[in-house]
Chain A
Amino acid sequence: MNRRFDIKHYQGFLAITCLCLFILYAPLIIVMIYSFNDSASITNWGGFSLRWYADVFTGPESEKFKLAAWNSLSIAVMAATVATTVATAGAIGMIRGGQFRGKSASFALISLPIMVPEIVTAVATLIFFSTIGFKLGTLSILVAHIVFCIPFAYLPISARLQGIEASYEEAAQDLYADRWRTFRYVLMPIMWPGILSGFLLAFIISLDDFIITNFIKGAGIETLPTAIFGSVKQGIKPNIMALSTLLLLFSIALVTLSYFIGKRGQEPHPTD
């Protein structure tokens, strides 16, 4: 088709899209490249090497990184698990609970952690914990992460649930399943892709969080983002670039996974 008469085509939009992708990717790719720099200086290229990756695992800061990574991962797993459970129950209550008073208030409450700016959540949580005398540490981080992970888990789960016709549950109940078994054997397997992407989203959001964690982590406890931030404050070092590259690749692997789960979930159902 002649491009000039293609109603959808606008001159220059492809160029802007490429520019957009370039802006998004250039810094990440540059850091990835420099993480393989043999030189101790971050400015000069000293040849290809994996020495900074070795440094991340065995260097002087490796103990700190390992502990921070363990904290980050364990908090992310727990926070995402709890948040996904809470969000799944909430989504079923909201979307399969009929019309009820307080429905929009409930929705507003569930979305509150997304609407409140992160720094405000951080301040409020810090004030709350210090007022009730809750000791700052892993547990306070975990609680805060659960709270702001809930809406992120809720979104894909509720979207999935909205796409499932209620007749599946009615059929299950009609075929003698009680409410629990309707959930266990029919609803949950069908909404599983939504639950899984909700979990992954919550997991990444928890893993990524810096601002809130930084406020309420208490002394001596670091997660990967706070450890990286602390280190970067004194200047960007090559081992941080290696660590960042690892984290980056980990995130991309998770997105890719969630993308394919989402795709599988979209397989046409006979009755959709």
Chain B
Amino acid sequence: MTSAIALKGVRKDFGTFTALSDVSFDIKDNEFFTLLGPSGCGKTTLLRLIAGFEDTTAGTIHLYGEEIENLPPNKRPVNTVFQNYALFPHMNVAENIGFALRMLGWTKADITLRVAEMVEMVQLGQFVHRKPSQLSGGQQQRVALARAMAPKPKVLLLDEPLSALDLKLRQEMRTELKRLQRETGITFIFVTHDQEEALSMSDRIAVMSSGAVQQIGSPNQIYENPANRFVADFIGETNLIASRVDSADGMHVVCSLADGEVLTALANSPLGPGSTGVVSIRPESLTVTKTAPKGESLRGTLGDAVYLGTDTQYTVLLAKELTLKVRMQNQFVASQALKQGDPVFVSIADGAARFLVD
């Protein structure tokens, strides 16, 4: 099975600035694929290269086996949902949705049929004769989707399409987008800087930073097994503690922290003693107790507590100015009376500590 998009050695320079350096990966057919990263990481540039709005500086882009990087955007069977929707202000909803079909030379009857089908798909029946300026943000978003999907693209590109919507609508649209993708079977490439969006919708995610892909994997893999320090830090919250490997058994390492305490962690690749890096532990994998727990634990003093509804987040001060963020469900916290300044033990859930080499 050929992949929907195959990128090989793709590079893009703007003058002296390198927006993308040597990006290579495949996107599978029928996949909901997300490009995730902070602003300026090159994710939108990559999307624009696939759409054809920018020329590659080097590298090739294949779409279902066909080389496309030299085709202009109007010759590429991919369509884009723009961040600001870019709905044509002088055309009504139906004309917007039918635009691509008109350009492709469909007959009037066929266009009418397809537009009606799309309007129904995005539930905009009563609005077909309205201009974009007469629609709400969420409705405009649906028109943009319908317009881009009307010509049955092989790949749909979505450039932060939810960023202009308010929180509630954004959450609704997540489910909606996922449904549309499943029903149509179109490959989606979704660009966002919002990790929650990425984690909740994607089949696979490519985490990008400074023009390079840091990790590609399922949401679960990315969250649980971050490939490096950037991914661990960018996705969710984590504690990153500088440490050094004392002994290793394959991927299992025993490492020591700056304050001299020792813990076991899992590395991404076999390491030798003496490797330096950070240990990443998610706050929710940590538990604070007043009494020494069974197994491995770190000693510290309880710092600030921040009440967050279902959870409470604690800061635990270890020796040598090391601090740990710990997040525990309030249900569990209630049973112990924790006070600031109490000496406490912090235990780590099995397999939750990751050692990431620098």
Contact = CB atoms under 8 A, between A and B. Distances in A.
Please determine if A and B sit in direct contact within the complex, based on CB atoms under 8 angstroms apart.
yes
Interface in A150-189: 165, 167-168, 170-178, 181, 185-186, 189
Contacts of B135: 270
A269 B132 contact: yes
B100 A176 contact: yes
A167 B99 contact: no
B89 A270 contact: yes
Interface stretch (B76-84, B112-120, B247-255): B76-84
Contacts of B151: 175-176
A176 B153 CA distance: 11
B84 A165 contact: yes
Nearest to B51: A174
Contact of A270 (B72, B100, B133): B133
Interface in B127-175: 132-133, 135, 140, 147-148, 151
A271 B87 contact: yes
A186 B140 CA distance: 18
B74 A270 contact: no
Contacts of A189: 88, 90
Interface string A236-272: 0000000000000000000000000000000111110
Given A177-B74, A268-B133, A171 B88 contact: yes
Interface residues of B, number: 29
A143 interface: no
A190 B103 CA distance: 18
A178 B104 CA distance: 10
Contacts of A175: 74, 79, 99-100, 103, 147-148, 151
Given A267-B133, A269-B132, A270-B133, A176 B89 contact: no
Given A176-B103, A181-B103, A171 B80 contact: yes
Q: Which one of B79, B86, B87, B135 has the highest number of Cβ atoms from chain A below 10 Å of its Cβ? A: B86
Contacts of B52: 173-174
A83 to B, nearest CB: 25
B73 interface: yes
Contacts of B78: 174
Contact of B140 (A165, A170, A270): A270
Given A176-B103, A270-B133, A190 B90 contact: yes
B88 A186 contact: yes
Interface in B80-111: 80, 82-90, 99-100, 103-104
Contacts of B51: 170, 174
A170 B133 contact: no
Contacts of B140: 270-271
Interface in B32-80: 51-53, 72-74, 78-80
B88 A270 contact: no
Interface string B226-237: 000000000000
Nearest to A176: B103
A233 B51 CA distance: 66
Contacts of B74: 173-178
B80 A170 contact: yes
Nearest to B147: A175
A170 B100 CA distance: 12
Nearest to A167: B86
Contacts of A271: 84-87, 89, 132, 140
A174 B80 contact: yes
B86 A165 contact: yes
Contact of A170 (B53, B89, B90): B53
A23 B80 CA distance: 57
Given A171-B82, A175-B79, A270 B132 contact: yes
Q: Which one of A185, A186, A268, A270 has the highest number of Cβ atoms from chain B below 10 Å of its Cβ? A: A270
Contacts of B103: 175-177, 181
A190 B72 contact: no
B84 A173 contact: no
Contact of B89 (A174, A178, A185, A190): A190
A186 B135 CA distance: 19
A269 B80 contact: no
A222 B203 CA distance: 76
A8 to B, nearest CB: 33
A185 B74 CA distance: 14
Contact of B87 (A173, A178, A270): A270
Interface in A182-211: 185-186, 189-190
A53 to B, nearest CB: 42
Contacts of A178: 72, 74
B86 A173 contact: no
A37 to B, nearest CB: 50
13 contacts: A165-B84, A167-B82, A170-B53, A170-B80, A171-B82, A171-B86, A173-B53, A175-B79, A176-B74, A177-B99, A190-B88, A270-B132, A271-B85
Given A175-B79, A175-B147, A269-B133, 20 more contacts: A165-B84, A170-B73, A170-B82, A171-B82, A171-B88, A173-B72, A174-B73, A174-B79, A174-B80, A175-B99, A175-B103, A177-B99, A185-B99, A189-B90, A268-B133, A269-B132, A270-B85, A270-B132, A271-B85, A271-B132
Interface of A: 165, 167-168, 170-178, 181, 185-186, 189-190, 267-271
* Closest 7 pairs between A and B when the two form their complex, measured CB to CB: A175-B100, A167-B86, A171-B86, A176-B103, A173-B73, A271-B84, A270-B132
